[in-house]
């Protein structure tokens, strides 16, 4: 009996330690970020401006504005959970050059040169800084909000309170909680999760044309998330672009399907 009691106490203590670690270290699981020196100089072939925008709490958000002569409009791009502007800037540059749009992209708090406390509402509201920046150069009917994966949470948050011309969501989850439940079905994710990013509630408030791109073999954000967002969308104009066989990080390899979808939206 004593051995059993000792085992139970050890098991309970181990579980408490595990849950405590998951609660306090989940930030590292969600945000795969690296900071870079403030004096780092970005190098890209396309003309661009570096942006430093100040949030209400004093956080400094670093962004890039890629420019075209006589652009068709501007794409406000919300990137995924891994990588910084050094990497994502290359993709933003390609979007700008390929479709002749200006592209504005920024790093979330704790990524690259961006600073500030990571609090869900603060992070989401940072997106308005860059949307308002876009509005200084373009009318709202010339702005496209484009969110990829984690960036989809920022994109729908911006779109539900603004009036861009269109919203694009690529490989985007319905909610972070649904991802956590799938990855850790044995844990009380609802109680543990500090960052409850979601798109489910936002979709009902978004009326502008909405386009969802998702791969059928996405192992990180399963295809049914894209289907779910499409079903939840209240937009009168909406379309789900299915990348048959596409995973989470390889959609650009499906050139005809993926770039065909973007071409339909931007050309």
Mind listing the pLDDT tens digit for each residue in 146-172? Answer: 999 999 999 999 999 999 999 999 999
Per-residue pLDDT tens over the stretch 163-200 = 999 999 999 999 988 887 876 676 666 766 788 899 99
Tell me the residue range of the domain where 14 lies: 1-30
The number of domains in the chain is: 2
pLDDT at 36: 94
Per-residue pLDDT tens over the stretch 33-59 = 999 999 999 999 999 999 999 999 999
Q: What residues have CB less than 8 Å from 235, skipping those under 6 apart?
A: 167, 206, 207, 208, 209, 210
- Give strand pairing partners of 51: 63
In this structure, what token pair is assigned to residue 162?
């603004």
Same domain, residue pair 229 and 133: yes
Same domain, residue pair 15 and 74: no
Provide, rounded to the nearest whole percent, the portion of the chain with pLDDT above 70.
Answer: 87
d(CA 26, CA 30) in angstroms, rounded, equals 6
Phi, psi of 202 (to 5 degrees): -70, -35
Q: DSSP class of residue 144?
A: E
Q: What residues have CB less than 8 Å from 139, skipping those under 6 apart?
A: none
pTM greater than 0.85:
yes
Give the number of other CB atoms < 10 A from CB of residue 74.
27
Same domain, residue pair 61 and 142: yes
């Amino acid at each position: 009996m004593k051995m059993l009691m000792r085992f139970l106490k050890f098991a309970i203590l181990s579980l408490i330690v595990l849950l405590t670690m998951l609660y306090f270290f989940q930030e590292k699981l969600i945000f795969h970020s690296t900071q870079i020196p403030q004096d780092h100089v970005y190098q890209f072939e396309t003309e661009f401006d570096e942006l430093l925008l100040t949030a209400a709490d004093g956080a400094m958000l670093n962004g890039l504005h890629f420019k075209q002569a006589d652009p068709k409009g501007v794409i406000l791009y919300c990137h995924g959970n891994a990588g910084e502007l050094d990497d994502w800037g290359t993709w933003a540059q390609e979007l700008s050059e390929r479709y002749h749009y200006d592209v504005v992209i920024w790093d979330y708090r704790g990524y690259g040169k961006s600073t500030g406390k990571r609090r869900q509402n603060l992070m989401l509201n940072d997106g308005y800084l860059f949307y308002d920046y876009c509005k200084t150069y373009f009318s709202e009917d010339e702005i496209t909000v484009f969110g990829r994966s984690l960036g989809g949470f920022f994109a729908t948050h911006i779109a539900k309170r603004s009036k861009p011309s269109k919203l694009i969501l690529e490989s985007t989850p319905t909610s972070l909680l649904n991802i956590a439940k799938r990855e850790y079905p044995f844990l009380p994710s609802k109680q543990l999760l500090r960052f409850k990013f979601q798109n489910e509630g936002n979709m009902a408030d978004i009326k502008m044309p909405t386009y969802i791109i998702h791969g059928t073999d996405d192992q990180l954000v399963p295809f049914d998330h894209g289907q779910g967002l499409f079903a939840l969308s209240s937009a009168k104009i909406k379309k789900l672009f299915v990348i048959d066989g596409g995973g989470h990080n390889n959609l650009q390899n499906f050139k005809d399907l993926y770039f065909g979808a973007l071409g339909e939206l931007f050309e």
